[in-house]
Structure 1
Amino acid sequence: MDFPRLGLGTMGIDDPDAVTTAIDLGYRHLDTAQIYDNEAVVGEGIDQAGVDRDDLLVATKLWIDQLDRVRESTVESLDRLGLDSVDLLYVHRPKGAYDPESTLSAMAELRDDGLIDGIAVSNFEIGDLDRFADVLGEPPAANQVEYHPLFQPEDRLEHAREHDYPLVAYSPLSGGEVDTVEPIVEVADRHGITPEQASLAWLLAKGIHPIPKASSREHLEANRAALDVELTDEDVAAIDAVEREHELYPE
């Protein structure tokens, strides 16, 4: 399947009905992680929705204390999700028990065995990405990073473009601060949309795949509506030039 342009971030979601509602509304990329402690919730939401499994891109992440027991930990995640495989398995951070050779080789074995489809990374910087390529001889299936108008790691975007893999943006709404940023509010007003929709549309225009977290139908629908927004080059440049910076999840 094509990589969905916009997905659902599930950190903090503890109700499977929210996941089911998202799927019913057209979300096809569902992102969870071991550290979120809600893989079972996401799995139940998927089961309730009753859609064809092949129509979903399901991702989870190995936490930093599980990177030396990749197979065992992945099987535990699959059990919680109630799935035979996931489409993306991420190294959540290149920290803790992470050893590029052993961790990535173990993930490659999982891919060979059909338990995962893609080996992905999260919070990787350029040196980490280069080491990934050295070990596996290929780029990651995706790199998921904090990316929003108040934190723009352009080096990761350029690397993703150069090596032709998706860049996935978590916290794409700047932790709820986008409605306080004047250039974003001005873009939103020009298009008759919310600042949150303007932020998502900006990421989409740059070819980034945002995964905003939402649990109510209203917010899920509002985020999806950003897919129909077409920003001008001037709009994109205005948000690119935002001078305020606030990294929500620094190392």
Structure 2
Amino acid sequence: MEVRWFVCNLLLWSLLAVQVCSCPDACSKCSVPGSDDCEECRPGWSLHNYTCVDIDECGVELDNCQLDSYCLNTQGSFECRDCDVACVGCMGSGPARCKKCAPGYRLTGSKCLDIDECSDLVLACHGLDEICANTKGSFRCDCADGFVRNNGACVKRQLPGVQEKGLFEDIQEDELEVLQQMFFGVVLCALATLAAKGDLVYTSVFIGAAAAMAGYWLSEKGDRLMNSFLKGR
């Protein structure tokens, strides 16, 4: 027990001695071991009245930060941090510390804020099937729904196995009948006009066409009446 007590006390006194004899962190040499009076300071510190004071590298312009970064002072040193994306050169963090606004940004009040090109420009996107989408510092032109970009232009998306329909493929049967009657009517009017001039050839053609039209109409009506009669039985 006495040996263990002696070892424990020895370790405790050793730790206390190290703490008492150590200098402040900023000091590289103390006047008296355990004293706060410094004779020499570590790099990044300056001796003032036996006290090591932090050097503001940003204030004395000793930093080597690039144009797109700013200096941030730390204890005994400094850091270079990136400027805000809205800035070209800056004096600190955020869009309010810019030296100049980056392209796509505008000075609004005291801050460089994003320009909404979709609202400012009359025709930001030139294509008729394009939609303007604002982004940070710029914008993009997206194709409208149902369109895809092909060779720089928005074209209608084609579904697999689906082809474009012809001009008359969607016409119903009754609509086709109306078109046929209109066509025959135009032809008869043209023949009637020529027949009125006394030309026997056009007159005979007109009479034949009129008879054919009447026969077609009567036969069509007759077929419909017969079908209706049979269905009603």
Which has the greater radius of gyration?
2
* TM-score, normalisation: structure 2: 0.17
Judging by fraction of residues, say which structure has more strand: 2
The alignment's TM-score, normalised by the length of structure 1, stands at 0.16
Bigger helix share:
1
